[in-house]
Structure 1
């Protein structure tokens, strides 16, 4: 796990790459790789590569990057290749290996397969290879977006880095992308490759980039396919799932440093931790965060049950409002842009605890998106079941459960009654895409807090429909697949963005065994009535591992998804902090806010909502980056001592 950066000239008239520029990019990402640093510049000065290393595999100096290949190629790589040993055996006939690192395997794979090499890699990765023979730069990102790759061009040069903050010194102006802002306000994540920094983009998951002759070409090398398998029984699917997940967990334990596990108390992290213990009993540290002053948010008893089942030594962090006040600006800084909900705060704190004990951590990210673990799936399906019952369309292939069968499981929606009321207030039984958009749209109650000229509602709806309906390239036979596919393509990359940033803030490598492409490709073939039988969330995972998971966790209906007692804190220590944020002069000067309307809304509601979280995050983001634009621009030649709130 590392940080990569680079500059590639797009025209002969571009100035030579300056070593100080690469050094500045490295310096802004030092937390990603405190163990080693490398900088390489081409003889022509038309390309420069930078690397910060966190030593995980092959701790020797032979793993130093940028790494040179036999043909003069240069590699910078962030991530882990879990099948590198198998690839090494396959490639050694055509490549003389000088290290035991997975990095060198990428160079050998590129030498043999060229631009097709990402298809052979199993793991999480973002890398760039400079090829002097063709004077071209080739880059690729893993299939799910576990590892980041951000870039922008000023016309003469292309700049790329693992984190957006490393690009800030080279932006002529740090401006907000209002389409991305509109998407964030609607979903609390952005769609596609746009970021909230105008001009800065992310290489999409499963995509590669080639820069040659001043031209930038981006293409897709992988996508998920829903070719449903109706020929096998649930028993077959359960057994195959166990085979693939067991293999993935074993592969993700590959490291030359200590490994631990997150334990939230839910099914996904508990399962990964327990399975990891079966393969590696020495690395038995597990980590959990709790809010002991608010019992309704305490899930530690479930984490303790999973720890006992896996023979884990559980380390717990108790988090307070004071911790939030001391760390929220650090969280926003490391996220680069507002992403997802307040769960990034406890994730940041637990990553800090874990980093005191281990260098690699396993988590359960991805389980909700691939095994149907969100309550909104049940809400949306219940509506469509009623519609199908009324219209007599149960057997048209779009519905996998009946209204009668789903009713016994509706008790899990007890805490969602306010959402149900709001959801069914308008547009009942409308088209599937319109209903799901209404279910996940968080901007519906925006009442003038944001300047409407900064919002682009038409673009939000158009981009949402493109992903939800498959952009014409993905065919879904079930409503469940439409919903999970949208979240898989949009929400999951946002959550992985958070996972990467909060762990790397503490120089901790986070791994996600549920996101192994052989496993994902298999699950996509499983019919929805196996994954979501009778409207039971995660029923396939629960049934497959009923003999592994503790019964207290299997039977849970109250999993909260890492909630934070912000509303309770807002009644005390947090209130003045929030009021000061929106009462400040800098907030009043923003083009996007109607601060008086925000403050009135706060006074009227007297509660901390997800809407308020989003608005607060946007303001803190502006302070971290927009308000320090001049400092970033001078960073190359005169780096300030207190540029960041880096931990």
Structure 2
């Protein structure tokens, strides 16, 4: 994993600049993404920069920018099946001078052009310059695991792995994008479009590539989930065997590395499944070079007496007991978060929706301190397998829409038994989710933006200025639409958190659940392979018997990388909030009506208003302004 930057001059009459100095400044901004090596290529109207985190072929042969005939590449990511592609290319007459996947990408592009993307299994953000044809080709992996941002005007096309590197170019001004600020504050939504928090800076979405030729930028989607594809087997065991084969192979491929590998472990199903699968391979091999005889796991924990709903060590211990992994724990605190929040926001480039990413930040730091350079993590499983509990309500609605009353009554009863909640509570929660996120249409969207009195702190004209993000409804199936919405709108922000938190400590994070073969398979499955008997992730629970500890496999609650956010805000952030919410800079942003806002803040501090999520967003946004805009 690495950091990439580039500058392409489009207008010969534009201001003459020292491109080498500009590209060096941008490249230096991303040193944390690649502390092992750096490289710069400057030729006529193009400059490319690279910071390298050495993972595969850590020799100098993997240096970038890398050349292959007339082609030059800067690339961030990993192609896990590069050995298989390399063998195919050798049969076609290609020759290689390194053992890196970077050279395989170059040869693949030489052989197949942009169609090479269909060959790759991995995560990537890449740019290839054809020195002969004077064209620039760039692409991002299917799911958008690896980031890519760009800025374009009549004079220049500027790109980078992180927005802060683009802002390091003297011609790019740091200005807030009010539409995205609105989406963040009003809708609790981020990373949902090509727009970013910075005016003029855009994001290349996952599953897209671009070609820059003759000063024109053409962007095209090359991959998406297939809504028409369905998978049907006669027996449940057939689904389970297919899942098991795909998941095990995904983990196997992601163990390809020339540096030490570890695993995040929260104690939930997803991370436990990865730890258990790595242990399965260790039992077969006895020892894996980049892991050793025992894998290392890294977890965020809390004092169970103070924060009983966040500490998962009773589940973590079950996994450690079964796998004999070496467990490392870290204890995030509110006090440290107040000290580190500016640094955290600087790495993220954005304000963030909750404090949960701080737990992940601490886990990656812990891994770095223990000399681990690659981490496996469980992102993506919840979106693909209906892991979030609000999916129950959507599933129930779909069963009723299909007039499947018998299955509805069975599932509703099983849910009530497993979770000690009434079915009514699920429908109520479903309504709140649909309303607050504006995914049930304009009426509910309007209701959501106006039903909380504390939203009166916003200026009325600004509050009504924009519309909620568009609803994604590619099928008639409400449940499948909800999965797709979470995959396309919710998951990208989690992947950005993952990328920035890992890269802050020069660690490559790999996500086995987002192997495209597994993703396509899971999306094509019948609904009852995801929710059955009142439990989420049915197919995974069944397929990984023997790999998962039974206490984990049958677990019904869900926490993840949680933090005691509400308690922290009550006990630790009071003074921080007061300092921010009563400052002149805060009210000068142009979003708030001062008199009403001050009254609402007083009610919040007095404990009369408990919308902690909103006040966290307000606080985090102001720290972002101070970090990037002021």
Give the TM-score normalised by structure 2. Answer: 0.90
SS in 2 for 1:315: strand
Which residue of the partner structure matches residue 47 of structure 1? 46
Which residue of the partner structure matches residue 304 of structure 1? 317
Which residue of the partner structure matches residue 363 of structure 1? 377
Which residue of the partner structure matches residue 270 of structure 1? 272
Question: Whole-Å Cα distance in 1 between the matches of residues 80 and 123 of structure 2?
Answer: 8
Conserved? CA contact 2:434–2:444, under 8 Å: no
Indicate whether 1:193 and 2:194 are aligned: yes
Which residue of the partner structure matches residue 625 of structure 1? 628
Which residue of the partner structure matches residue 245 of structure 1? 247
Which residue of the partner structure matches residue 605 of structure 1? 607
Q: How many residues align?
A: 605
Shift of the 626–555 alpha-carbon distance from structure 1 to 2, 3 Å rule, reads: same
Shift of the 25–454 alpha-carbon distance from structure 1 to 2, 3 Å rule, reads: farther
Which residue of the partner structure matches residue 394 of structure 1? 403
Which residue of the partner structure matches residue 590 of structure 1? 589
Shift of the 599–229 alpha-carbon distance from structure 1 to 2, 3 Å rule, reads: same
Conserved? CA contact 1:380–1:436, under 8 Å: no
Shift of the 424–26 alpha-carbon distance from structure 1 to 2, 3 Å rule, reads: closer
Which residue of the partner structure matches residue 491 of structure 2? 492
Which residue of the partner structure matches residue 152 of structure 1? 151
Conserved? CA contact 1:582–1:598, under 8 Å: no
Which residue of the partner structure matches residue 359 of structure 2? 346
Conserved? CA contact 1:210–1:216, under 8 Å: yes
Show CA shifts across 1:528-587 (max 9, x none): 122222442111111111332112212222222322112212332321112112122221
Bigger mean CA deviation after superposition, 279-288 or 419-428: 419-428
Question: Whole-Å Cα distance in 1 between the matches of residues 386 and 269 of structure 2?
Answer: 12
Deviation at 1:279, TM superposition (A): 2.1
Which residue of the partner structure matches residue 448 of structure 1? 456
Deviation at 1:436, TM superposition (A): 12
Show CA shifts across 1:387-414 (max 9, x none): 54xxxx515xxx9941343222135274
Question: Whole-Å Cα distance in 1 between the matches of residues 582 and 422 of structure 2?
Answer: 33
Shift of the 115–597 alpha-carbon distance from structure 1 to 2, 3 Å rule, reads: farther
Shift of the 60–432 alpha-carbon distance from structure 1 to 2, 3 Å rule, reads: closer
Shift of the 538–17 alpha-carbon distance from structure 1 to 2, 3 Å rule, reads: farther
Deviation at 1:452, TM superposition (A): 4.0
Which residue of the partner structure matches residue 566 of structure 2? 567
Question: Whole-Å Cα distance in 1 between the matches of residues 542 and 199 of structure 2?
Answer: 46
Which residue of the partner structure matches residue 459 of structure 1? 467
Question: Whole-Å Cα distance in 2 between the matches of residues 515 and 527 of structure 1?
Answer: 19
Indicate whether 1:181 and 2:185 are aligned: no
Show CA shifts across 1:467-502 (max 9, x none): x213xxxxx353221101001011111100000000
Indicate whether 1:90 and 2:88 are aligned: yes
Shift of the 443–233 alpha-carbon distance from structure 1 to 2, 3 Å rule, reads: farther
Runs of 4+ that moved beyond 6 A: 415-419, 425-428, 435-443
Question: Whole-Å Cα distance in 1 between the matches of residues 422 and 406 of structure 2?
Answer: 25
Bigger mean CA deviation after superposition, 490-499 or 227-236: 227-236
Bigger mean CA deviation after superposition, 1-10 or 306-315: 306-315
Conserved? CA contact 1:151–1:161, under 8 Å: yes
Deviation at 1:95, TM superposition (A): 2.3
SS in 1 for 2:330: strand
Which residue of the partner structure matches residue 512 of structure 1? 511
Deviation at 1:101, TM superposition (A): 0.5
Question: Whole-Å Cα distance in 2 between the matches of residues 484 and 140 of structure 1?
Answer: 25
Unaligned runs of 5+ in 1: 471-475, 628-647
SS in 2 for 1:288: strand
Which residue of the partner structure matches residue 408 of structure 1? 414
Deviation at 1:16, TM superposition (A): 5.4
Equivalent of 1:322 in 322, 335, 339: 335
Equivalent of 1:469 in 468, 473, 478: 473
Conserved? CA contact 1:17–1:48, under 8 Å: no
Question: Whole-Å Cα distance in 2 between the matches of residues 156 and 149 of structure 1?
Answer: 20
Question: Whole-Å Cα distance in 2 between the matches of residues 228 and 271 of structure 1?
Answer: 25
Shift of the 530–441 alpha-carbon distance from structure 1 to 2, 3 Å rule, reads: farther
Which residue of the partner structure matches residue 77 of structure 2? 79
SS in 2 for 1:37: strand
SS in 2 for 1:237: helix
